Structure 1
Amino acid sequence: MGTDIQEELQAINAKIDMILAAVNDLLGRKRARAETKKARKEKLSPLTEEEIKEHEKRFVQLFDQWMEGHELEVQTELEKFDAEQIRRFADANNLNVTSKMSVQKVLRLISARFREKRQLQVGIRGS
């Protein structure tokens, strides 16, 4: 009878060891995920003058394409940008964007700016 109890205790201890190993593994993975997420969220450096000029030049090119009637091509090209790129592009062109803003909202802001710019150009020509 004593050996039966000891065998059961050993089996229970083995199961406890397996559970502890699984918990430690999960904690390790959770910490690793948290660290990678934190590393990704590190603040990006501010835009340099060169980056701003590049983005402004690209904005003018896209606007000219848009004015020529290639709205879908411009939209497709803008949608190719990843979230951080499109935010930096918009920021360089004096659009009020935040790091939490969705890509779709940033795209709407850019489209609105294109429409505003068109209205200004049409208004100047019409005067």
Structure 2
Amino acid sequence: MSATTRERELDATERAYLAGHRICRMATVDPSGQPQVNPVGYFLQDDGTILSGGFDLGRTKRWRNLHANPRLSLVVDEVVSQDPWTVRGVEIRGEAELLVGPHDLAPGMSDELIRVHPRWVHSWGLDGL
């Protein structure tokens, strides 16, 4: 199992992996320095950014955390096999852009969206995808 770490853009294999999933864990940090992790839905965009929304996103601690500090981390991973133990995934560290306004990302979501701009990417176990 190989691992790849790079600054900036997602490569084609990482994009293909992310496009095949819909849930990630998003980590933010509150103003006191306490980390917070939430499972969130996401949508990979053609430009390599990632959008995440919610049903009342503007009222969440995650939104407030990102308003104070736009740095975040996302992880999408899975266990492929338990015997032999095989895992794969992608970690993205980057900056959030907070957007407010009408969108058609998914029905029922509030007007707030988080656009993740990847700055650093680490992936593992994606060989053969």
What TM-score do you get using the length of structure 1 for normalisation? 0.25
Name which one, 1 or 2, has greater alpha-carbon Rg: 1
Instruction: Report which of the two has the higher share of strand.
Output: 2
Instruction: Report which of the two has the higher share of helix.
Output: 1
What TM-score do you get using the length of structure 2 for normalisation? 0.25
